[in-house]
Chains A and B, each alone.
Chain A
Amino acid sequence: MPNRRASRNAYYFFVQEKIPELRRRGLPVAHVADAVPYCSSDWVKPVSTPLRRPGMLVPKQNVSLPDMSSLSLKSDQALLGGIFYFLNIFSHGELPPHCEQRFLPCEIGCVKYSLQEGIMADFHSFINPGEIPRGFRFHCQAASDSSHKIPISNFQSGHDQATVLQNLYRFIHPYPGNWPPIYCKSDDRARVNWCLKHMAKASEIRQDLELLTVEDLVVGIYQQKFLKEPSKTWVRSLLDVAMWDYSSNTRCKWHEENDILFCALAVCRKIAYCISNSLATLFGIQLTEAHVPLQDYKASNSVTPKMVVLDAGRYQKLRVESPGFSHFNYSNQDQRTNTPIGDYPSGVKISGQNSSVRGRGITRLLESISNSSSNIHKFSNCETSLSPYMSQKDGYKSFSSFS
C-alpha cells in the first residue's frame, strides 16, 4: 500500500495554512477536510507577491543552473569567455486565446555576448507579420502604437519569415555542432518561443532552439562567482533599468531615427549592458565600448564651461544668511567629520575648506569639470543599494571607475 502521506499535494498545504484564518472567521474547521470547501475559491485566486508571480503563460523550467552545467564552466575564465545569445522578437500585440495565431512577429533582435568581450555581434531584422486576422486590425494597431510603433501594413522593411529565420540561424550557428544557449527575459519567453515555432512552421526548417531566461543566467553567473543565490527582486531590478534607453548605438536604425524606445535589438543590447555593468565588473573586467555605451558618457562631451552657471559672489551673502537644516545639509556633514568638535547647532556656518561658502565660482567650475567623470558614480551607487551582498570591498569596480 502506498504511503498516504505521498498524496499530500500543494493544495493540502494551502488548506492547512488557511485553517487558522478560517477559525478566526468562526468557521467550524477541525481538519483539512473540513476546510477544503472554504478554500477552493481562494486557491483559484491568483496570488502575487514580489517574489512569486503566477500567470506565466509557459511554466518556468524547474532548473536551478541549466546554463552553467551545459556550458560546463569550471573556472571564472571559462565563464568569462562563454558566449551567450540574447534574443527578442516583437509582435503586433497578442491575440486572444481562442485564435490560432497568437502573435504576429514583426521585429527580431539578437546579440552575441560574452562577459569578457561584451557585445561581439548583433543581428536585427524586421519581419513581415503576414496577413492580419480579419477583425483584429484595431487590436494589433493599438498594441503597436503603444509600444514599438512598427506599421502593421505597407512596411517595406519587413522580410519574409523564412528568410529571417534562416538568417538568424546563420547568425547564431554558422558551423555545425552544438547549438549555443539562447536567452530572453522571462516575461518575453512565451512570445519569443511561439514566434520561433511559428516562423519555423512557415519556413519548414526544423531546429528547436533551447530558449532560457536571462534571469536564470544572471542567477547562475552570480552563484558561480559568489556561491550565493541573489534575490529574484535584485535580478529583476538589475535587468529593468531605464538608464540606457536613449544610449547611442543601442536601438536599430529605424527606431533610432523615429525616436521610439521599444526596439527588439535595444532590448537585447540593454540586457548586455546591464550584465556588463553589474556582473562583468565583479570579475574585474575592464569595460569597453562593447560592454556599455561609454561614448555617451565621455567627459569631453558633457560639461563645457559655458554650460555651468557660476554661483559666484552675488549669492554668497544669501548663503551665509540662510540657516538651513543642518542634518540635511550635505556640506555640514562634511564639516562634522572634519572638525574635532563635531556638533554644531544648526545655522552656524564654519568657514573652512569644506564649507559651502567658497571663493570664486571658478574653483567650483574647475572641480566640476575634473569631477565630471566621477559624477557618473551614481550608476554604481544605485546598484550598490540594490545589491544584496556586494560592497566595494568585493572588488566591485563599476563602469564609472573606468571612464
Chain B
Amino acid sequence: MSGRARVRARGIARSPSATEVGRTPVSPSPASVVLSDNEASSSSEFMETSRISLNCKYGVSSGNVGSTFSERGVAISRNFMDLDICTRQKLAHVRDCKTGSSGIPVKLVTNLFSLDLPQDWQLYQYHVTYIPDLASRRLRIALLYSHSELSNKAKAFDGAILFLSQKLKEKVTVLSSETKRGETVKMTITLTSELPSSSPVCIQVFNIIFRKILKKLSMYQIGRNFYNPSEPVEIPQHKLSLWPGFAISVSQFESRLLFSADVSYKVLRNETVLEFMTALCYKTGLSCFSETCEKQLIGLTVLTRYNNKTYRIDDIDWSVRPTHTFQKRDGTEITYMDYYKQQYDITLSDLNQPMLVSLLKSKRNNNTEAQLVHLVPELCFLTGLTDQATSDFQLMKAVAEETRLGPLGRQQRLARLVDDIQRNKDARFELETWGLHFGSQMSLTGRVVPSEKILMQDHVCQPVSSADWSKDIRACKILSAQSLNMWLILCSNRMEIVTESFVNCLRKVGSAMGFNVDYPKIIKVQENPAAFLRAIQQHVHPDVQLVMCILPSNQKNYYDSIKKYLSSDCPVPSQCVLARTLNKQGMMMSVATKIAMQMTCKLGGELWALEIPLKSLMVVGIDVCKDALSKDVVVGCVASINPRITRWFSRCIVQRTVTDVADCLRVFMTGALNKWYKYNHDLPARIIVYRDGVGDGQLKTLVEYEVPQLLTSVTEASSNTSSRLSVIVVRKKCMPRFFTEMNRTVQNPPLGTVVDSEATRPEWYDFYLISQAARQGTVNPTYYNVIYDDNGLKPDHMQRLTFKLCHLYYNWPGLVSIPAPCLYAHKLTFLVAQSIHKEPNLQLANSLFYL
C-alpha cells in the first residue's frame, strides 16, 4: 500500500474524512480486511522512536500519512520527555558541582562519540502548507524536494514541518509545482522558529539524521534498532541466523552533544512460516493440522523481508488465499498475488496457502479500532526463540557465544561502525550538509571507590573479591539467627533418604554459621500439588516456624499453591527446594549453606553488615511490576528498620490501576516509619528511597506524584523535626558502556567504578556505578538519578552509600547490580506477580520471607 508510484499517481485532494487515512475500521467479515501492512506498522514504529516522523529524501522509508501533523510538531517522544525535568536546579548543593573526588581515578573508554557543531549553528523550523491541500505525504515531499531552491540544502520534512540548517532568504517563501496529472500546487513555506542546538527538537532532528545515515549504510530499522541483513551470523545446526546491528541515539550529555551506539542482535529463524507449516503437516497429518498449526504459530513474531517489519501472528485465516482480492485504499480491488508482484516484484509460489492475520496496535489512543493485516506465510520469517529453544542449553550457548560480546569485541564493532560512517560517501555528505562533525570516541576518567569490609558476628572480613565472598565468610558466624526448633519438611517417598542426609548437612552448616537447626518433622506426601497443600494444611499449626517443601519438579503449580497458602492464608515462612538440586552429587554442602542462609533470613535473622557511618538512616527500595494474571500493578516496598541496615520491613501492595505509578506510598511509608519508631523509639533522621522500575517518560510523574506522597507521610509522621528525604531513580538499562584500557586491550572496569562526569546529563544529579561482575560479556553500569534530596549528602557520600547498599543482598554473598532494598522489592513483587497474585499477609512483613 505504501507504493510510491501509486501514491504519486493518485495525488487526490485531501477529503474531509482524511483523518482516517489508511485506517479502515476493522469489520468482522474477512472480505473487507485491508492489507496495509507497511503503513500502519511503520507509523507505529515511528511513534515509538520519535513522534516527528520525517521521511527521507527518496522516499525509501515509508511512513503513514498522519492526521495529526500539528500535534506531531509539538509532541516529543517519551525518552526525550524526561529531559525537560530539570531536577538538579532545585538541589542547591549540587547545582554547581555534582562530582565526587574520592577513590582511585581510572581512565575509561566509552561507547560515546563526540558530535561537533559550529558555534552559531541553528536549526530553522518551517511550516509548509499546500494549496490545494494534498493528502499524500509522499506527494507533498516529492513536490517540495524537487524544487531547486531546496535541492542542495540539508533538510528534513514530514509533510508539514520542514527543518533546514540554513535559513531561507524570506520569512515566507511561496513555491509552485506541477503534479504528473498537471495540477498546479502552491506551497507556502513559513518560518516558525529558530532553534539552538541544545533544544530538544534539535536532538530529535539529530536522531533522525543518524537514522538516515544508518539506512545509507544499508542497515534496516527493525523496532528501534538497525540491523544489517547482508552480514548475518549463521548458526546452521539450529537453523538460526543472527543479524548484527546497533542501537543508536544522539543526546545532549553533560558538556556536549554525543552519539552513542551499542551492539544489538536480531535472532531470526531460517524458516518461513510456509515451510514450517508444510513440515508440520507432514508430521501431524491433515486431520488435526489446522489445530496444531494454530497452537504452534499463534503468538509468534514474524518478519517480512520485503519491508523488514515485524508482526505478531494473531490469527490464521484459512478461508483466504493469495488469489483472493482485497480493497486498496483508493477503492480498487487487487489480489494479494498481484499486489506483491506489483509492489515488491515478488512472485508467490504457493497459491493455496492460508493467510496470517495480525492485529496492528494503534499507538495514538485506545479508542480507535484496531486494524487487521493479512500476511502471506511464504514471505514471513519466524523470529525470536521459542520456549522450547530457550530451554535448549546447546542452542542458547551457541547464541550467547555470538551475542555476548566481550569489551574487546564490542569495541571492535563500534570502531567498524564509525569507520563505515566516515567512509561512506552519502553518509559523510549528509553530515556535512547539516554542518555536523562526527568526532572521536570519548574517553573519560572514572573513580574506583574503595572496597568494603564485611562485618560478621565476631569477625571483620576483607573479601578477596567483592563479587563473591562466600569463601571468605565460610568460617564466620552470621550476625544473628533465630534457632529453628519446630519445622516441617514435606517430601515425596523417593526423596526420603536424600532429605535425611540433607537435613544432617543443614544442621552441620547451620551450627557452623551460628544458626541452630533442630530436627524437623518429615512428612511424606504423594507427588502432586494437592497432596502437598493438604499436608501443609494438616500439619502447620501456630508453633511451626518454617515449612520446607522438597518439590519433585519445577512445575509452577507446586510452588504457586504452597506460596499462596503460606504467604497469605496462613502466614508461615516457607522454603521450597527442588529435588533435583538435592540430587546433585558433591554439591550438598554448598546447597545446604545457601539454603541455611535463606532460611535464617526468612526467620528474621541477619547475615552480615557493613560499616555505614550515617546514623539513623532508613533506606527504602521500591519496585513496580504488573501481575501476570490480572495485569494489576504490584508495588513492592522494602524499608530498613534498624540503623545497621540489616533488618527489613517488606510490604507489597496490589493496585487496581493501569499505569505503573505507585499510589500507595503513603500507606507504606507510614507503616515503615511506625515500625522504625517501635524498634528505635525515634524516627530516622534521614530516609533514602531507591525507586526501580521506572520507564521512559515517567520521570515527571515520579517528581510530581510519588515524591509528594513520600514527603507527606514523612512530614505527617512527626510534628516537629521531620526526617530528611532523598529519592533516587535506579535504572539497570542505560545506553553508555565503559571499558578500561589495559595492556593494549580493553576490559570491563573494576567493581566500584563510579562515573559522574561527561556521560551524565547536565540537568540531573546523576551518576553511573558498576557494582556487578560480568563473567562473560560486557558489564552494564547501573544509572542513578537523584531526583529529590533534602539530605544534602555530598556526591561522594551518596555514591559510596549506594555502593555499600549493593553489598547487603542476603541471597547472594557478593555485590549485586542494584542496591539491596531495590532487589528485595523486586523479589517481592516478582513473587506476588507470578505466584501469589494478592497481598501477602502483614504478619510476615518483618522477615525476608520472599527470598
Contacts and interface: CB of A to CB of B under 8 A. Distances in A.
Contacts of A240: 568, 838
A138 B299 contact: yes
B89 interface: no
Interface stretch (A47-55, A77-85, A169-177, A279-287): A47-55
Interface in B643-662: 653, 655-658
Contacts of A368: 521
Contacts of A163: none
A136 B359 contact: yes
A315 B519 contact: yes
A324 B291 contact: no
A240 B630 CA distance: 14
Contact of B486 (A302, A323, A330): A330
Interface stretch (B156-164, B172-180, B422-430, B536-544): B536-544
Contacts of A303: 523, 538
Interface stretch (B229-237, B312-320, B577-585, B810-818): B312-320
A356 B94 CA distance: 61
A150 B225 CA distance: 38
A330 B570 contact: no
Interface in B615-674: 628-629, 653, 655-658, 663-664, 667
B368 interface: yes
Contacts of B539: 302, 375
Contact of B298 (A98, A138, A377): A138
Given A136-B315, A376-B537, A243 B528 contact: no
A377 B570 CA distance: 11
Given A48-B663, A308-B523, A385 B656 contact: no
Given A136-B359, A296-B534, A55 B28 contact: no
A381 B564 contact: no
B533 interface: yes
B694 to A, nearest CB: 17
A373 to B, nearest CB: 9
A237 B25 CA distance: 44
Interface string B530-571: 100111011111110100000000000100010011001111
B569 A243 contact: yes
Contact of B561 (A246, A302, A377): A246
A154 B359 CA distance: 23
Interface residues of A, number: 70
Given A141-B298, A240-B838, A153 B537 contact: no
If over half of A's interface residues share one DSSP class (helix, strand or loop), that class is named, otherwise mixed; here it is: loop
A137 B30 contact: no
A310 to B, nearest CB: 10
Contact of B367 (A98, A243, A315): A98
A311 B312 contact: no
A48 B662 CA distance: 10
A302 B538 contact: yes
B357 interface: yes
Contacts of A302: 535, 538-539
A37 interface: no
B522 interface: yes
A324 B483 CA distance: 5
Given A48-B655, A135-B370, A259-B557, A308 B522 contact: yes
Contacts of B4: none
Task: Report the contact-size class of chain B (Cβ under 8 Å from the partner).
Answer: 35 or more
A141 B312 CA distance: 14
A372 interface: yes
A322 B486 contact: no
Interface string A138-174: 1101100011000001100000000000000000000
Contacts, number: 182
A355 interface: no
Contacts of A147: 629
A381 B537 CA distance: 12
B657 A55 contact: yes
A146 B556 CA distance: 12
A96 interface: yes
A242 interface: yes
Nearest to B524: A307
Contacts of B564: 242, 245
B663 A378 contact: no
A319 to B, nearest CB: 7
Contacts of B26: 134-135
Nearest to B485: A329
Given A141-B299, A241-B569, A331-B485, A324 B657 contact: no
B759 interface: no
A385 to B, nearest CB: 7
B518 interface: yes
Interface string B461-503: 0000000000000000000001101100000000000001000
Contacts of A306: 524
Contact of A297 (B28, B500, B538, B838): B538
B396 to A, nearest CB: 24
Nearest to A304: B524
For B312, B565, B712, which residue has the most chain A Cβ atoms within 10 angstroms? B565
Nearest to B359: A135
B192 interface: no
Nearest to A53: B656
Contact of B372 (A97, A134, A322, A379): A134
A302 B538 CA distance: 7
Interface in A188-216: none
17 contacts: A46-B656, A97-B366, A134-B33, A134-B315, A134-B317, A135-B26, A135-B372, A147-B629, A261-B557, A302-B535, A318-B518, A324-B483, A328-B483, A374-B541, A378-B537, A378-B540, A382-B569
Interface of A: 21, 45-50, 53-55, 96-98, 132-139, 141-142, 146-147, 153-154, 237, 240-243, 245-248, 259, 261, 296-297, 302-303, 306-309, 311, 315, 318-319, 322-325, 328-331, 356, 368, 372, 374-379, 381-382, 385
Q: Which 3 A-B pairs have the closest CB atoms?
A: A246-B530, A137-B315, A324-B483
Given A50-B653, A98-B368, 6 more contacts: A21-B708, A21-B712, A139-B314, A141-B294, A241-B568, A381-B570
